[in-house]
Structure 1
Amino acid sequence: MKKLQISLWLCCLVFATGCTEKDLAIYEPATAGSSIYFADKFDGAVIGTSDVMATYKLRQISLGYVRLELQDTLIALPVRFTGNAALQDREYSVEIDPASTMQQGKHFDFVDKHPVMKAGKFTDSLRIMMHRTPDMQLDTFSLTLHLRPNDNFGTALQWKKLPSGRDSLDVIRYDLAIDDVTGIPGAWTDALVKPYAKDYFGDYSRAKFLLMVQVIGMDPDVLAVMPAATADKYKVLDKIIVWGKYMAYWLGIEKQQNRIHYDENNAEITMGTRSY
């Protein structure tokens, strides 16, 4: 299963959604009250395609291709409510499911200890700071959050049906899974592409790959996930040749300045023989 890859240029991942009066009018405040829910899950159910459903039933995050110096990642989950905006700030309640394997204070922290829906607003962002820990390289950790009723908000709007009516999403529950596992990118394993990766990039190492992503500024998926069509693979070969030669040049300049880069095995990072 392809996991959601977090772009290396970002230390913040924000799931943004809008809020319209039409959305809010779907549920009458007189019957549902001010019911709070996760906005992107609700909007995903409105779209209702199979890939959207899979995404929102479990949001998967992989730090495997994020450069190593980025140790913290900010995630913002939009929260919305039915009914009218208030003239004052209103606190809402979030509960961590006891079955979660992520530990608060170790793997994550809430940025706001007491999340608040601001006065005059219909949407807030529940902000979570994810901490990159060594055990994430060995296992996938889960975090399940539940919106709970309090004096300000109810949770009468729990399920949002798909347009087909055959399935629905629990919109007051959010499931996250995170790891820091890096598999060998497809460029080093694909039958057509791997001879070029060997010749221009050399042997694979995680540190080398992350350094390439950082220096070149490329999308890691270009080398991590190979396209199915042969014609598209040939386009990847062109990039491999250019990137391999550039990295060899860059590493040479770095070495002249006494900045030698090493991989996770303390071996000097070099490129493939055809890049020199």
Structure 2
Amino acid sequence: MKRNIISIIAIIITMIMLSCEKPLNTYNSKDAIYFNDAARLPLFSGEVIKDSTIVSFSLAKSQDSIVNMVIGTTGGKSSQDRPYRLSVNASSTAKEGVHFEILNKSFSIKKDQLKDTVKIKFLRKTDMQTNTFLLSFDLLDNENFITAMNNKVTNQTTGKKISYINYRWYVNDIIKRPARWLDTYMGTFTRKKLFLMVSILDVDPAYLDTSVSIAEMVAYAKYMQRYLNDQKLLGNTILEDDGSIMIMGPSVQ
């Protein structure tokens, strides 16, 4: 009888303890969203990770350029698409439809994915020859993602930070003198001369910047001077933008 009483008391105590238990709190925070290029690991030793990119048409032949901007998320994959908010910052000076187009129709992390790619087309315009335009993007909170992972201090002394939720593109067509350009053969560098050479010789301007040999340069310069002389004889003297006669360098006269 005594054993039965003890058993009943033990059962009652167990039931009381179970009825008093509270459910454990679970972690239910939203995943964070960020610009992948600003938060990724370096691809090689010494690479500087940035929260901005410069796009220059300076030595390009194309009239537009498509770039990829990758958006990343923390947490696990989802079985459904998760829209995120991407906004053009008011500080931007590049104009949509004039200097750039966003090719994506919507912004979302697709199901079973942790990244999305935003495609931006930059359009080469005359005003880029004298101005650098800014296109700045912000990631914003929504029902699927938060922006809690917002920056990283890269210099403890100065307090300089890199942003994970603001990314900037700087675009221009400000011409640069190709690195291998030699005045003795090519003459004074001008934008008009460079692109006349590109047109007549069908040479990529980037090739003149990185790869052209001196022998090739001499050949290009001689050919261009003959072309300029022929045009002058035909009554079509080619002038620089300042009104002076276009000529190649003294070594090919």
TM-score normalised according to structure 2 size: 0.68
The structure whose Rg is larger is 2
Cα separation, partners in 2 of 1:246 and 1:46, compared to 1, 3 Å? closer
Matched position secondary structure for 1:208: helix
Which structure 1 segments of 5+ residues have no match?
1-28, 189-196, 224-235
Counterparts in 2 of 1:206-217, with a 5 A limit? Answer: 206-210=191-195, 215-217=202-204
| 1:138 corresponds to 2:135 | no
Counterpart of 2:214 in structure 1 is: 240
Separation in 2, partners of 1:213, 1:30: 61
1:97 to 89, 94, 99: 89
Separation in 1, partners of 2:74, 2:87: 20
Asked if structure 1 preserves the Cα contact closer than 8 Å seen for 2:240 and 2:246, the reply is no
Could you tell me the percent identity over the aligned residues? 27
Counterparts in 2 of 1:41-52, with a 5 A limit? Answer: 41-43=38-40, 52=48
Counterparts in 2 of 1:155-194, with a 5 A limit? Answer: 155-162=147-154, 167-185=160-178
Cα separation, partners in 2 of 1:47 and 1:199, compared to 1, 3 Å? closer
Counterpart of 2:32 in structure 1 is: 35
2:101 to 93, 106, 109: 109
Per-residue deviation at 1:246?
Answer: 4.1
Asked if structure 2 preserves the Cα contact closer than 8 Å seen for 1:33 and 1:82, the reply is no
Aligned-residue CA RMSD in angstroms?
3.9
Counterpart of 1:73 in structure 2 is: 65
Matched position secondary structure for 2:60: coil
Which structure 2 segments of 5+ residues have no match?
1-25, 231-235
Amino acid in structure 2 at the alignment position of 1:100: S
Asked if structure 1 preserves the Cα contact closer than 8 Å seen for 2:66 and 2:119, the reply is yes
Asked if structure 1 preserves the Cα contact closer than 8 Å seen for 2:197 and 2:224, the reply is no
TM-score normalised according to structure 1 size: 0.63
| 1:222 corresponds to 2:206 | no
Per-residue deviation at 1:38?
Answer: 0.5
Separation in 1, partners of 2:77, 2:247: 59
Amino acid in structure 1 at the alignment position of 2:184: D
Cα separation, partners in 2 of 1:127 and 1:220, compared to 1, 3 Å? farther
Separation in 2, partners of 1:202, 1:162: 44
Cα separation, partners in 2 of 1:80 and 1:205, compared to 1, 3 Å? same
| 1:204 corresponds to 2:189 | yes
Per-residue deviation at 1:80?
Answer: 0.7
Counterpart of 1:228 in structure 2 is: none
Per-residue deviation at 1:74?
Answer: 0.8
Amino acid in structure 2 at the alignment position of 1:52: V
**Post-superposition CA distance 1:13-56 (Å, at most 9, x none):** xxxxxxxxxxxxxxxx946522111011002689896x725xx2
Matched position secondary structure for 1:143: strand
Separation in 1, partners of 2:131, 2:166: 23
